[in-house]
Chains A and B, each alone.
Chain A
Amino acid sequence: MIQLKEPEVNLQLALEHGLSEEEWQKIIEILGRTPTYTELGVFSVMWSEHCSYKNSIAMLKTLPRTGRRLLVGAGEENAGLVDIGDGLAVCFKIESHNHPSAVEPFQGAATGVGGILRDIFTMGARPIASLNSLRFGPLNIPRNRYLFDNVVKGIAHYGNSIGVPTVGGEIYFEECYTGNPLVNVMTVGVVKHNEVVSAVSKGEGNTVMLVGSATGRDGIHGATFASVELSETSESRRSSVQVGDPFTEKLLLEATLELAKQDYLVGIQDMGAAGIACSTSEMAARGKSGMILDLSAVPLREPDMSPYEIMLSESQERMLVVIRKGFEQEAQAIFKKWDLKCTKIGKVINSNNLEIFFNQKKVGSIPAYHLVLGGGAPVYIRETREPDYIKKARAKNIKRLKMPEDFNKALLQIMASPNVADKAWVYQQYDYSVRSNTVVPPGASAAVIRLKKTNKALAMKTDGNGRYTYLNPYKGGAIAVAEAARNVACMGAKPLAITNCLNFGNPYDPEVYYQFKQAVLGMGEACRILDTPVTGGNVSFYNESPQGAIYPTPVVGMLGLIEDLKHVTTSWFKQDGDFIILLGALKGELGGSEYMQVIHNMVGGDAPDIDLSFEKRIQTACLEAIRKGIVNSAIDVSDGGLAVAIAEACINNPEKMLGASIFISLKMRDDELLFGESQSVIILSISENNLLEMERIAAKNIIPCITIGRVKDNGRLKINGLIDLELEAIRRVYQAIIPNYMQQGF
């Protein structure tokens, strides 16, 4: 083996690469010698948190990951695969791009979209929709407006250009995300069962090809960068952020879907984090085979790149393709048609090693198994300690808070909170209708995408409440799943499965690890009871800025199936005189509520309770009523409580706003009634002649069902004697706040 002009490889260098002393010893043990510089680079990225999940995988394995509709379990491939009948499967996954977006928001967000799209289409699936989940600091701070504006532009730039509709998501603004925004992106794809492509390399002598863009120095150590906290010097890591080219990716997408139909294709993997190092080792390990790689064959964007740099580059829009020997020209013809480069860089061998050559010299020889997650990569369970703040926050006496004197004013203030307010400013920048499948566009409880040539549709939603999870990590994890499932059930869909993105602080901090562990346990319990297994996802640790850690923020991407297009239901009132029905029970829970934050500037108390078997019954009843055809609208109670849910059902009808008169008598404070965020509550509107049927369905599912008011075509919202507002006044503040902030520039 040769050493070029490379630094001496020793413990010190390993530590600088983010490896621990223990890990350094383990590498020497695996290789039986000191690694070469290139090998050290490969180990350091493959064993980074980002690629190895070393501090999370043990917990992730506690999540339910099987189910009768799952064709591929979590972790087996790049994304999960769910059977939806008609010979079709849905492939979906969510991923974070938090750190790149914190230092270079436009490209950080754009390449996040590019990365998750590649995960989907490299499985042979046509991407049909993207969603996102975003967190920023408050909009009164110019830097936060800059990040928000550019993240949205970046997502729009990539998604619009590649022609995949961005159909939904969620956005919250909280102090704790200043300095460490969250950018989680999800893509959903559809594939025929017999065209699913595996990310595997096998078959001695088969050909390994690199497809797509040339390799440059961009993004070297991106995976490692994602595995430390952000600091004042993070700005200097802008070069760790990759640059996206959606046009090249569009070509890759179309060429890949052509290739997916060919018998001679063995496997494909996207090159994301840790580039060639990751894709070669993961594909080889999956196929229990080895690979000879000739790095001199890799087309370069810049001269004089070292083998270390070539292995670690995270240049975008590249894939590794393995095809049966003898079919090189056929594969090349497909890529040539789309004006893409396709270069042979190696072949499959009958060993377990990656044999890495550069200019005819061997620069590395590593057993692939030892590099990868699920193989020899380290696995840790970290120490946990319940954080002190939790007890303090729960001890806050909410009952002593002064009630607002004017509930009209309070409701308008909450409607004008950017967390609640209309997000049209955001989603109008996304092409949400391309591919002509968008049945319910952004702005509803969930998006609905039809599946051409069938009578089915998919409902999809991202959900997560950092504030709840901060106050009670277990409940926060469970509620994220429950609420996402409730949202798709309100659209007429049966919740099928989830993907998750777990955004937390530094896992070596026992308090952070406590949050992580509890949230995962809560999520797992909810998934088991609601029968929505986890198909895969992503963990993002080290979300900390010099100001401290973010709220623990588990985000759920939910997939629901609508069996018949006529079941598609939206959240707004439709018919004057309809009865407004409340399914579930309001318990006046103000802990962690939007009301507490907006009106009392306080985050305290406990997260709302969640009884998961009750939740399941509520959703079952809602879905049963929708399928019976008796539901005119359905919306769940969430941020801002009952008052906000009713107000949204009034003003969100794109054809015509319809008013409501509500009378509801419960023994609790008025603010608890209007703004409490009790879980498992759904508001329906139903015509009078269907009331009995609704009551029968509720009784059968053993859930409370009460009439709380009527839909009125009078342009007003009235609730008890507390609220009496013109809908126009509500709509004005609801729509104005985000555009007003963004007009201020940065």
Chain B
Amino acid sequence: MKFGVVVFPGSNCDHDAYHVIKHVLGARVEYIWHKETTLRMFDVIILPGGFSYGDYLRAGAVARFAPVMNAIVQFSRHGGMVLGICNGFQILLEAGLLPGALIPNNHMRFRCQNVYIKVLDNTSPFTREYQTAQVLRMPIAHYSGNYYADADTLKSLEDNGQIAFQYCEPDGTVSENANPNGSLLNIAGIFNPARNVLGMMPHPERAAEKILGSNDGLGIFKSLVDHA
């Protein structure tokens, strides 16, 4: 089982993901430079959070043209696991690996806080460590995390079980009050139809050790390790 963490210029959470995989889980991990054009022997690719290329045009809009992205698209088409966190999620949407868009938060401010998210399904390779309807606590930290898609897309996400996580109250109630950014259907993360690609705005890599206040995020990485 080998993880690869992509480093774009402007990636900030690459070290955090690497740390969790290597030092918390003891699994194999390497950085992948954004100028690489081929990927060697990885089982899971992580697109980390940050401000790739400064995010000057639109979050993720430049990164999708990075040399490494063609290889990642091919990798996912062959069933490779891809996890995009925060800016990584934005890049997956820009690259067309996931449907919809992330627009600026409805309050038009950057927001960093702990949120609660509900696991909708524990049969995916990313969530098998959790119970269905389990509530997880982890931080968000983003300006553009407001998930948007047209009605048909939303319906197909729901029908196909592609909604991975929804923002919720500590007791699991999915409410307007628990929604930190205006996302439709309180969406915090989605799968592709084949469920080998997951994009999510909350940061599981920042919630993988008790000393940081929560280790609820560790299950995602553990699920992937066990999957192999």
A interface residues with partner B (beta carbon < 8 Å): 153, 156, 160-163, 245-248, 250-251, 338-339, 427-439, 450, 452, 565, 654
Would B54 and A246 count as touching, CB distance under 8 A?
A: yes
Known: A156-B110, A247-B51, A439-B212. A434 touches B9 (CB 8 A): no
Please report the C-alpha to C-alpha distance between residue A22 and residue B15 in the assembled complex, in whole angstroms.
54
Interface pairs (21), CB distance under 8 Å: A153-B109, A156-B110, A162-B12, A163-B12, A163-B50, A247-B10, A247-B53, A338-B9, A427-B112, A428-B109, A429-B112, A430-B110, A430-B112, A432-B141, A433-B112, A433-B212, A434-B141, A435-B15, A436-B209, A452-B19, A452-B23
Would A160 and B206 count as touching, CB distance under 8 A?
A: no
Would A436 and B111 count as touching, CB distance under 8 A?
A: no
Which 7 residue pairs spanning A and B have beta carbons closest together?
A163-B12, A247-B54, A431-B141, A436-B16, A161-B51, A433-B139, A436-B206
Q: Which residues of A contact B209 (CB under 8 A)?
A: 436
Please report the C-alpha to C-alpha distance between residue A364 and residue B128 in the assembled complex, in whole angstroms.
70
Q: Which residues of A contact B54 (CB under 8 A)?
A: 161, 245-248, 250
Q: Which residues of B contact A153 (CB under 8 A)?
A: 109
Neighbour of A436 across the interface among B56, B143, B205, CB < 8 A: B205
Q: Which residues of A contact B212 (CB under 8 A)?
A: 433, 436-439
Q: Which residues of A contact B10 (CB under 8 A)?
A: 161, 247, 250-251
Please report the C-alpha to C-alpha distance between residue A428 and residue B142 in the assembled complex, in whole angstroms.
10
Please report the C-alpha to C-alpha distance between residue A213 and residue B228 in the assembled complex, in whole angstroms.
45
Please report the C-alpha to C-alpha distance between residue A429 and residue B109 in the assembled complex, in whole angstroms.
7
With both beta carbons as reference points, the residue of chain A lying nearest to B17 in the complex is identified as A436
Q: Which residues of B contact A433 (CB under 8 A)?
A: 112, 139, 141, 203, 206, 212
Q: Which residues of B contact A429 (CB under 8 A)?
A: 109-112
Please report the C-alpha to C-alpha distance between residue A325 and residue B127 in the assembled complex, in whole angstroms.
55
Known: A163-B13, A246-B54, A436-B19. A428 touches B111 (CB 8 A): yes
Q: Which residues of B contact A156 (CB under 8 A)?
A: 110
Would B19 and A247 count as touching, CB distance under 8 A?
A: no
Q: Which residues of A contact B141 (CB under 8 A)?
A: 160, 431-434
A741 → chain B closest CB, angstroms? 15
- With an 8 A cutoff between CB atoms, is B211 at the interface? yes
Please report the C-alpha to C-alpha distance between residue A161 and residue B9 in the assembled complex, in whole angstroms.
11
Please report the C-alpha to C-alpha distance between residue A439 and residue B206 in the assembled complex, in whole angstroms.
11
> Residues 1-26 of chain B: 1 if any A CB is under 8 Å from the residue's CB, otherwise 0?
00000000111110110011001000
B208 → chain A closest CB, angstroms? 8
Would B51 and A246 count as touching, CB distance under 8 A?
A: yes
B85 → chain A closest CB, angstroms? 12
Please report the C-alpha to C-alpha distance between residue A427 and residue B109 in the assembled complex, in whole angstroms.
11
Would B50 and A339 count as touching, CB distance under 8 A?
A: no
Q: Which residues of B contact A339 (CB under 8 A)?
A: 9
Q: Which residues of A contact B51 (CB under 8 A)?
A: 160-161, 163, 246-247, 250
Please report the C-alpha to C-alpha distance between residue A338 and residue B10 in the assembled complex, in whole angstroms.
10
Please report the C-alpha to C-alpha distance between residue A431 and residue B211 in the assembled complex, in whole angstroms.
18
With both beta carbons as reference points, the residue of chain B lying nearest to A149 in the complex is identified as B109
Interface positions of B from 20 to 63, Cβ below 8 Å from A: 20, 23, 49-51, 53-56
Please report the C-alpha to C-alpha distance between residue A522 and residue B16 in the assembled complex, in whole angstroms.
42
Interface positions of B from 100 to 151, Cβ below 8 Å from A: 109-114, 139, 141, 143
Q: Which residues of A contact B111 (CB under 8 A)?
A: 428-429
Please report the C-alpha to C-alpha distance between residue A433 and residue B16 in the assembled complex, in whole angstroms.
10
Neighbour of B56 across the interface among A247, A437, A450, CB < 8 A: A247
Would A435 and B112 count as touching, CB distance under 8 A?
A: no
Q: Which residues of B contact A438 (CB under 8 A)?
A: 212
Which interface residue of A163, A339, A429 has the most chain B CB atoms within 10 A? A163
Please report the C-alpha to C-alpha distance between residue A436 and residue B210 in the assembled complex, in whole angstroms.
11
With both beta carbons as reference points, the residue of chain B lying nearest to A161 in the complex is identified as B51
Q: Which residues of B contact A338 (CB under 8 A)?
A: 9
Would A428 and B113 count as touching, CB distance under 8 A?
A: yes
B14 → chain A closest CB, angstroms? 9
Known: A160-B110, A245-B54, A433-B141. A565 touches B16 (CB 8 A): no
Would A428 and B53 count as touching, CB distance under 8 A?
A: no
With both beta carbons as reference points, the residue of chain A lying nearest to B138 in the complex is identified as A433
Given A427-B112, A431-B110, 7 additional A-B pairs, CB 8 A? A248-B54, A431-B112, A431-B141, A433-B141, A433-B206, A434-B206, A565-B211
Would A434 and B12 count as touching, CB distance under 8 A?
A: yes
Which interface residue of B13, B111, B112 has the most chain A CB atoms within 10 A? B112
Please report the C-alpha to C-alpha distance between residue A248 and residue B211 in the assembled complex, in whole angstroms.
33
Q: Which residues of B contact A439 (CB under 8 A)?
A: 211-213
Please report the C-alpha to C-alpha distance between residue A358 and residue B143 in the assembled complex, in whole angstroms.
45
B137 → chain A closest CB, angstroms? 10
Q: Which residues of B contact A654 (CB under 8 A)?
A: 114
A444 → chain B closest CB, angstroms? 12
Would A250 and B9 count as touching, CB distance under 8 A?
A: yes
Q: Which residues of B contact A247 (CB under 8 A)?
A: 9-10, 51, 53-56
With both beta carbons as reference points, the residue of chain A lying nearest to B205 in the complex is identified as A436
Please report the C-alpha to C-alpha distance between residue A246 and residue B20 in the assembled complex, in whole angstroms.
26
Would B56 and A432 count as touching, CB distance under 8 A?
A: no
Q: Which residues of A contact B213 (CB under 8 A)?
A: 439
Known: A161-B51, A246-B54. A450 touches B211 (CB 8 A): yes
B166 → chain A closest CB, angstroms? 21
Q: Which residues of B contact A246 (CB under 8 A)?
A: 51, 54
B62 → chain A closest CB, angstroms? 10
A67 → chain B closest CB, angstroms? 29
Please report the C-alpha to C-alpha distance between residue A654 and residue B139 in the assembled complex, in whole angstroms.
14
With both beta carbons as reference points, the residue of chain A lying nearest to B20 in the complex is identified as A436
A438 → chain B closest CB, angstroms? 7
Q: Which residues of B contact A245 (CB under 8 A)?
A: 54
> Residues 85-99 of chain B: 1 if any A CB is under 8 Å from the residue's CB, otherwise 0?
000000000000000
A247 → chain B closest CB, angstroms? 3
Please report the C-alpha to C-alpha distance between residue A435 and residue B139 in the assembled complex, in whole angstroms.
12
With both beta carbons as reference points, the residue of chain B lying nearest to A251 in the complex is identified as B9
Q: Which residues of B contact A437 (CB under 8 A)?
A: 212
With both beta carbons as reference points, the residue of chain A lying nearest to B56 in the complex is identified as A247
Would B13 and A434 count as touching, CB distance under 8 A?
A: yes
Please report the C-alpha to C-alpha distance between residue A438 and residue B112 in the assembled complex, in whole angstroms.
13
With both beta carbons as reference points, the residue of chain B lying nearest to A164 in the complex is identified as B12
With both beta carbons as reference points, the residue of chain B lying nearest to A152 in the complex is identified as B109
Please report the C-alpha to C-alpha distance between residue A435 and residue B11 in the assembled complex, in whole angstroms.
11
Q: Which residues of A contact B139 (CB under 8 A)?
A: 433
Q: Which residues of A contact B13 (CB under 8 A)?
A: 163, 434
Which interface residue of B15, B53, B208 has the most chain A CB atoms within 10 A? B15
With both beta carbons as reference points, the residue of chain A lying nearest to B139 in the complex is identified as A433
Q: Which residues of B contact A251 (CB under 8 A)?
A: 9-10
Q: Which residues of A contact B143 (CB under 8 A)?
A: 160
Q: Which residues of A contact B112 (CB under 8 A)?
A: 427-433
Q: Which residues of A contact B114 (CB under 8 A)?
A: 654
B168 → chain A closest CB, angstroms? 17
Q: Which residues of B contact A431 (CB under 8 A)?
A: 110, 112, 141
A343 → chain B closest CB, angstroms? 20
Please report the C-alpha to C-alpha distance between residue A565 and residue B203 in the assembled complex, in whole angstroms.
23
A437 → chain B closest CB, angstroms? 8
Q: Which residues of A contact B11 (CB under 8 A)?
A: 163
Please report the C-alpha to C-alpha distance between residue A438 and residue B139 in the assembled complex, in whole angstroms.
11
Please report the C-alpha to C-alpha distance between residue A560 and residue B12 in the assembled complex, in whole angstroms.
26
With both beta carbons as reference points, the residue of chain B lying nearest to A424 in the complex is identified as B113
Q: Which residues of A contact B113 (CB under 8 A)?
A: 428
A155 → chain B closest CB, angstroms? 11
With both beta carbons as reference points, the residue of chain A lying nearest to B52 in the complex is identified as A247
With both beta carbons as reference points, the residue of chain B lying nearest to A438 in the complex is identified as B212
Q: Which residues of A contact B50 (CB under 8 A)?
A: 163
A606 → chain B closest CB, angstroms? 40
Please report the C-alpha to C-alpha distance between residue A370 and residue B44 in the assembled complex, in whole angstroms.
59
A28 → chain B closest CB, angstroms? 47
> Residues 179-223 of chain B: 1 if any A CB is under 8 Å from the residue's CB, otherwise 0?
000000000000000000000000101101101110000000000
Q: Which residues of A contact B56 (CB under 8 A)?
A: 247
Q: Which residues of A contact B205 (CB under 8 A)?
A: 436
Q: Which residues of A contact B49 (CB under 8 A)?
A: 434
Which interface residue of B13, B55, B205, B211 has the most chain A CB atoms within 10 A? B211
Q: Which residues of B contact A436 (CB under 8 A)?
A: 16, 19-20, 205-206, 208-209, 212
